Chain A
């Protein structure tokens, strides 16, 4: 199912309250925020109201906020090779008790 990927590029400060209303309805609260809405004529009409303020792209899948953040997260660049000796002994001790 295709979605509109809508990013608010320009602020609505100084614009009429109806324009603010459209942005609120779409869920765009801050500049550079991105929201996904399914492609439909009603959403298209909302976009037409604020077309000068947004950048729109059509995509197949919608991403959640966490997914968008994760897409920007870089590689950690490390992994733990060896735990501290005391911590390892504690862990082994617990496993021994569990058995």
Chain B
């Protein structure tokens, strides 16, 4: 599944050579970027690190044996986003492995999630308190947040993972693949704000008596994870039909 969606996105972004731009002294010079952007790297190099077992490949190729499958697509996210927001993908496909193993994952008593807040992963389970490395703006203690971006849902014996993130360059940002947010429910309450101990940095130059003291005391938001729930296959399919 990963190979197909990655190849498809590459084909769409790889554009034809730009038209010849006429210059006074030279003819037929084209402006083509030579950096390692997603559109420039050839297919085999991108897939060189991906080790997909023969079994999984044959499963994916024999997809016609499962006529009731939802159409293969990374549909656009439901919430409105800025025009130029980063192009992260939420994988909304119901693969055969999810059909087969989600009931087993759901049946296990305890679950963990790797949720992403502003692109950074946090491995959490119910009851955890996480101190974020930043102050979350526009939230007050007592607010309930719904966390909807996760890359891993796991239990003791099973883990559901999203495809590996595509490494980014300065020109082509990193692309993270997330799991369908309808598969799980994760809520966190804003507990409060913590402060680090006061730090004083002394700034001075050689042979100068004046020393400038710069105070720093950063603040951090603390969240307590109140709910971690993995949906069952029936509930998930119900949610899929509703869309």
Contact = CB atoms under 8 A, between A and B. Distances in A.
Given A32-B170, A57-B33, A79 B146 contact: yes
A44 B118 contact: no
Interface string B127-152: 00000000000111111111111000
B151 to A, nearest CB: 10
A75 B21 contact: no
B18 A58 contact: yes
Contacts of A87: 140, 142-143
Contacts, number: 102
B15 to A, nearest CB: 10
Contact of A44 (B21, B32, B34, B138): B21
B116 interface: yes
A78 B140 contact: no
A41 B29 CA distance: 13
Name B's interface SS. loop
Interface residues of B, number: 41
Interface residues of A, number: 35
B115 A56 contact: no
B148 A56 contact: no
B76 interface: no
Interface string A22-53: 00000000001010000101001000100000
A71 B85 contact: yes
B143 A63 contact: no
A82 to B, nearest CB: 4
A7 B18 CA distance: 18
Given A7-B171, A55-B35, A81-B146, A41 B116 contact: no
B33 A56 contact: yes
Query: Top 3 nearest A-B pairs by Cβ distance?
Result: A84-B142, A74-B119, A77-B149
30 contacts: A4-B31, A7-B35, A7-B170, A7-B171, A44-B21, A44-B23, A55-B33, A56-B31, A67-B84, A68-B84, A70-B82, A71-B84, A73-B85, A74-B86, A74-B174, A75-B81, A75-B85, A77-B115, A77-B119, A77-B149, A78-B117, A78-B148, A78-B188, A80-B143, A80-B145, A81-B144, A81-B145, A82-B144, A84-B140, A84-B141
